[in-house]
A and B are shown apart, each in its own frame.
Chain A
Amino acid sequence: AQSVTQLDSQVPVFEEAPVELRCNYSSSVSVYLFWYVQYPNQGLQLLLKYLSGSTLVKGINGFEAEFNKSQTSFHLRKPSVHISDTAEYFCAVTLNQAGTALIFGKGTTLSVSS
C-alpha cells in the first residue's frame, strides 16, 4: 500500500526567504501526487498536482514542486514567501486504481514572519 511522509511538522521562515517543504512517498507502482494548502479555519484547496509528463509542476501562488521518481520525493518550493503563505500544507498520493483514494500526509505548518 502507498504511504506519504512529510518530513517537517513545522517550518518557520522570514518573509521573502525561500522555502522547501519536503514530502516522500512509498509505492511500488506509479502514483499521482498532490499538494494542498489549508488556511486557518478553512478547508483544503489544491496547490498543484503531478499526474504525468514534466516532473516540474507549477501551481498557484508561485509554488512549484518537482517529482523525483528515484528518490520517491515531491518537495514543494517557493523562491520568496509572503506573510499570507502562512498555512498548513498537505502532501497526498494516490495510485489511480479502482478502490484507492488519496492518502494524505500529516501536514507541515509554514509560519512566515516579518
Chain B
Amino acid sequence: DAGVIQSPRHEVTEMGQEVTLRCKPISGHNSLFWYRQTMMRGLELLIYFNNNVPIDDSGMPEDRFSAKMPNASFSTLKIQPSEPRDSAVYFCASSFTEADTQYFGPGTRLTVL
C-alpha cells in the first residue's frame, strides 16, 4: 500500500485566499484524522471521521475551516479565507478504527503571507 497520501506537500498563498488540502487514506481504513502542527501549539486534532461521518470537530479553530469526506478514499480540509496564523503543517492520518494505530501522511506545509 502507498500509505496515506497528502497533496500538495507545500502551499504558499496570500492572506484571504482559499486553500484546499487533500488526503487519500489507506484503503480499508475506516477512520480519518486531520491534525495541525505548529511550534507554539504542538500537534492539535482538528477533526476526525468514522466511515465518512464527522465524529468530533471540536478542534476546528473557527468557521473559516471546513472538512469533508465524500467517500472512503478522499477527504479535504478547506480554509476560507486564509490568514497568516493558519501557517502550519497539516497532517492527515488514517486507521482501522478510531482507537487503533494511526498512519500519518507526510503533511502539507502551509504558508500564508
Contacts and interface: CB of A to CB of B under 8 A. Distances in A.
B99 interface: yes
Contacts of B98: 94, 98-101
A107 B43 contact: yes
Centre residue among B4, B33, B102 by max chain A CB count within 10 A: B102
B99 A94 contact: yes
Contacts of A44: 43, 91, 93, 102, 104
Chain A interface mostly: loop
A32 B91 contact: no
Contacts of B4: 43
Interface size class of B (residues with CB under 8 A): 20 to 34
B107 interface: yes
Interface string B77-111: 00000000000000101000011011111110000
A101 B45 contact: yes
Interface string A93-114: 0111111111110110000000
Given A42-B106, A106-B42, 15 more contacts: A32-B99, A43-B91, A43-B105, A43-B106, A44-B102, A46-B102, A90-B43, A98-B98, A100-B98, A100-B99, A101-B48, A101-B55, A104-B42, A104-B43, A106-B43
9 contacts: A43-B105, A43-B106, A45-B104, A97-B99, A99-B56, A101-B33, A101-B45, A101-B55, A106-B43
Interface of B: 4, 31, 33, 42-43, 45, 48, 55-56, 91, 93, 98-99, 101-107
